[in-house]
Amino acid sequence: MLSKLLNKSFPQLVRAVRPQYTLYRPLFTPTRRVFSHNVKPKESTKLKEGIMKFLYDNKQRPIPTSEKNVILTQCPHCVMIRKKSFAAYVNLQKGTYSCQTCKTKGTFPEFSRSLLKKMNKQDHHDLPILSTSDFLGVNNKPQQFTRPIEEIEQYPRNLAGDTNMSDRLTQLHCIEKSTLELYKVGLTQVDDHDCLTFPQTSLAYDPNSTADENSFKLDTVRLKICDLEDPSQVVQVDPPLHSKESEAGLFGYQTASADCDTLIITRREMDAMAAYQATGIPAVSIPTSNYQLQEPVLPLLERFTHIYIWLDDDLDGQLAAERFAHKIGDSKCLIVNTRLGDKQSPVNAYEALKENKDLKKILSKARRIKHDQIVDFVDLREEVLNEILHPDQTRGVQSKDLPGLNEIMKGHRSGELTILTGPTGAGKTTIISQLSLDYCQSGVPTLWGSFEIMNKRLAKKMLFQFAGKDISIVPEEFDEIADRFQEVSFFFFKKKGVAYINVYFR
């Protein structure tokens, strides 16, 4: 064997002794014929389909760009390292990529090798965050609608064909029929009550598209069903459960054309329609009203250069707006204050429309986020006013299950660290678990980093507390209770142990 190796050239020798890892071998093999600049049409189509399949199989969410056959996705060199990692432009026709953040360039096989290496490292050495779904035996495949897609597509036609109902909605909510139709708002009944349906959409690659068509299509990924009289009251969400693989979309994303560079982000669906109707600027609403901007929707915002964040003009809303701006990119975001300093003014775009306020004027007063280390009273004025107007929010999140604790902690306030100490068996974990459930049910997402107790035992304890009973006595009720438990914003760090303390606080 040694004599055979010595007779080989250096490149042959390297190939002969290099171990072959079939499991992590990239999907694409670099050859001059495939990756030359003169790619044949059939080869180009095959290459394009292969690249898209690889990205989707590895949980990447590419989006189209203004240039044909060029998509934008996560850079394998920047992800988990740099803030702006969604910056890799992939040419589907040539099989090349380039990152605008780290300036890395190369072929797609190099891209795939780097991505697989990074994902392999993450699986073994990083601290991915787990949701309650991971402990309840939930299938991690993308969830399906509980009703036929034909029925979902019929809802907007139900409303469009009911002139009396459209006129009633215009009178009740000041939203015109044309706006309702543009946003594909639908009408259905739940328990004999009229409800509005709000579809959330995302971009999905269509492998069946022709060369002349856009390869990405709008895909309805979730449907929110709300009370007709009070649309802020959610009746149902379909698919109903949150899992690690469930998709999230934006309501109203279809209002932004391919060449549009400006967008308004709101908290609720009625705010989005009000903002668009009054200003003519495309407006969307976030997936939930709990001030959470999920990672799956961030790629949908990449193509916009100007983004107005128009949330509720109170303490919680303005703090969330700044968080959103940091997440999206401070340089392209402006924060809208609906009240413009008037404490008697409405708090959001929908209420402002109903009170016949000038929404264009409100939008024109939007402010940028200044350097995070420098402030003056102009910056603090609105925050001071919000604390004066909303002392309940300034007190922090109040515990409903342990009201006596509010007198001691004065509420769970943003930016503060509370340490609970006590001897073994004093009930620290029990109290914190109950507080976590309490806060989650109030819309405050909670993340557990346990240094001693296994996550499955924590999840079991919290599930029992959530149910208010010992489920081991009634195991037949597990599925029903677990389904409701999954809907709270509860997460766990995967690793445990003192060695990871510095990672938790990073």
Count the Cβ atoms, other than its own, within 10 Å of residue 195: 22
From residue 492, give the alpha-carbon distance in Å to each of 435, 456, 471.
15, 10, 21
- Whether the link from the prior residue into 403 is cis, omega within 30° of 0, is no
pLDDT of residue 43: 66
pLDDT at 294 over 90: no
pLDDT at 2 over 50: no
Pick 371 or 97 by higher pLDDT.
97
Q: Which value, to the nearest 10 degrees, does the dihedral of the CA atoms of residues 176, 178, 180, 186 take? A: 130
pLDDT of residue 382: 78
Sheet holding 63-64, edge to edge: 63-64, 70-73, 88-91, 96-99, 105-107
pLDDT at 302 over 70: yes
- Asked if 205 and 62 touch (Cβ cutoff 8 Å), the reply is yes
pLDDT at 130 over 50: no
Average pLDDT for the chain: 80
As a whole-number percent, the residues of the chain with pLDDT over 70 amount to 80
pLDDT at 179 over 80: yes
40-44, 185-189, 193-197, 256-260, range with the lowest pLDDT: 40-44
pLDDT at 4 over 60: no
Between CA 427 and CA 399 the distance in angstroms is 17
- pLDDT, tens digit (0-9, with 9 covering 90-100), for 390-400: 776 667 778 88
pLDDT of residue 58: 83
pLDDT at 453 over 70: yes
Pick 199 or 464 by higher pLDDT.
199
Distance of CA 175 to the CA centre of its chain: 27
Helices marked H in 148-302: 149-160, 163-173, 177-182, 269-279, 298-301
Alpha carbons within 13 A on the beta-carbon side of 308: 26
Pick 224 or 64 by higher pLDDT.
224
pLDDT of residue 493: 76
Highest mean pLDDT among 26-40, 148-162, 194-208: 148-162
Highest mean pLDDT among 104-113, 402-411, 423-432: 104-113
Task: Identify the helix (H) or strand (E) that includes residue 111.
Answer: helix 108-125
pLDDT of residue 378: 74
- Asked if 269 and 287 touch (Cβ cutoff 8 Å), the reply is no
Task: Identify the helix (H) or strand (E) that includes residue 249.
Answer: none
pLDDT of residue 167: 94
DSSP secondary structure letters along 422-442: --TTSSHHHHHHHHHHHHHHT
All structural domains of the chain, each given as residue ranges with its CATH number in brackets, are: 22-126 (no CATH), 142-247 (no CATH), 256-394 (3.40.1360.10), 403-504 (no CATH)
Average pLDDT over every residue of 426-435: 83
In three-state secondary structure terms, 7 is coil
In three-state secondary structure terms, 251 is strand
Average pLDDT over every residue of 100-119: 88
Residues 6+ apart with CB under 8 A from 465: 430, 433, 434, 437
Residues 6+ apart with CB under 8 A from 34: 28, 43, 47, 95
Q: Tokens representing 353?
A: 């429309």
- Asked if 250 and 285 touch (Cβ cutoff 8 Å), the reply is yes
pLDDT of residue 275: 97
pLDDT of residue 140: 39
In three-state secondary structure terms, 450 is coil
Confidence at 62, pLDDT banded by 50, 70, 90: confident
Q: Helix 455-467 vs helix 478-486: angle between axes, to the nearest 10 degrees?
A: 100
Between CA 67 and CA 271 the distance in angstroms is 32
Average pLDDT over every residue of 267-276: 97
Q: Tokens representing 233?
A: 């009251």
Residues 6+ apart with CB under 8 A from 292: 286, 445, 489
- What global pTM score does this model have? 0.63
16-25, 83-92, 449-458, range with the lowest pLDDT: 16-25
Average pLDDT over every residue of 399-410: 78
pLDDT at 366 over 90: yes
Cα separation of the two ends of the chain:
51
- pLDDT, tens digit (0-9, with 9 covering 90-100), for 461-486: 888 888 888 888 888 888 888 888 87
pLDDT of residue 37: 47
- Nearest CA-CA partner of 466 in 9, 132, 91, 103: 132
pLDDT of residue 27: 37
Residue type, 363: L
pLDDT at 16 over 70: no
Helices marked H in 329-454: 349-354, 359-364, 377-389, 391-394, 403-409, 428-441
Between CA 432 and CA 447 the distance in angstroms is 12
- Nearest CA-CA partner of 298 in 287, 283, 314, 313: 287
pLDDT of residue 136: 41
Between CA 314 and CA 386 the distance in angstroms is 6
Q: Which DSSP state fits 246?
A: -
Average pLDDT over every residue of 224-240: 91
Pick 255 or 404 by higher pLDDT.
255
> Would residue 341 be called left, alpha or beta, if left means φ above 0 and alpha means ψ between -120 and 50 degrees?
left
pLDDT of residue 293: 87
Length of the chain: 506
Pick 435 or 80 by higher pLDDT.
435
Task: Identify the helix (H) or strand (E) that includes residue 202.
Answer: strand 193-205
The 10 Å CB-count burial string (b at 16+, else e) for 60-70 is bbbbbeeeeeb
Highest mean pLDDT among 23-27, 36-40, 56-60, 128-132: 56-60
